[in-house]
Amino acid sequence: MALSSAAPLPAATVPAARLFFALWPEEALAARLADLGRQQVAAQGGRPMAEDSLHLTLAFLGEQPLSLLPALLQTGQRVAARAAWPFAFNLDQGGYWPAQGILWLGCSRPPVALPDLAASLAGELAALGLTLEARPYVPHVTLVRGARCAAATPWHPADMPAWTARNFRLLRSRRDAAGTRYETLGCWPMGGNGMLS
């Protein structure tokens, strides 16, 4: 879908960014998740995710032209207005993806509202001409990268507080010498009553 009548720039000169929609944990939960990641690194090796980068991806868009940003912000607003807010879930089951060396924490019984939110975003993004990965949605938080576990056996953390989803965000991923940082481009509250600043 064309968003501008101007002639397209060559691909190398079009400003672009790695973008995704995600839930962001509140501070206390983020601290607990970061602590769990450090514990897993001590046992399994790898690199823990920084506390300020922990999130639960709803839709990964990959590299997209920044000219798409206004349409993506409108998408966030429309989806938030229809979302069942707030909803809570428990991150109660960990797993390991050996090919990527990722230790993650997910929910064994996600509330219907969570995959519904991801599906609503996917539908709106498809209407913009964006295609997401064609694999089942597995809600999870990446805790560790580069881990080397003996087996991909599920594990269960103790004393993990519930996550109450009150809003979701559109984020930009930036990589530099210090690692990956995330910049919030849009944030929508429960009920979709405008964008949070």
Supply the pLDDT for residue 3: 35
* Amino acid of residue 76: G
Task: Report d(CA 164, CA 124) in Å as an integer.
Answer: 24
3-state helix, strand, coil in the chain (%, to 5): 30, 35, 35
143 occurs within a structural domain: yes
11 occurs within a structural domain: no
The range of the structural domain enclosing residue 102 comes to 17-192
Q: Domain tally for the chain?
A: 1
89 occurs within a structural domain: yes
The mean of the pLDDT values for the chain is 87
Quick one: which H or E segment has residue 96?
strand 93-97
- What's the average model confidence in pLDDT over 112-134? 92
Whether residue 67 contacts residue 3, with contact meaning beta carbons closer than 8 Å, is answered with yes
170 occurs within a structural domain: yes
60 occurs within a structural domain: yes
DSSP E strand boundaries for the chain: 16-23, 47-48, 56-65, 87-89, 93-97, 102-106, 140-145, 163-165, 167-176, 179-189
Whether residue 97 contacts residue 147, with contact meaning beta carbons closer than 8 Å, is answered with no
pTM listed for this prediction: 0.87
10 occurs within a structural domain: no
Q: What is the CATH number of the domain that holds 117?
A: 3.90.1140.10
Give the pLDDT confidence of 148-189 residue by residue, as tens digits.
886 666 777 878 899 999 999 999 999 887 778 899 999 998
pLDDT at 7 over 60: no
Supply the pLDDT for residue 165: 94
Q: How many residues does the chain have?
A: 197
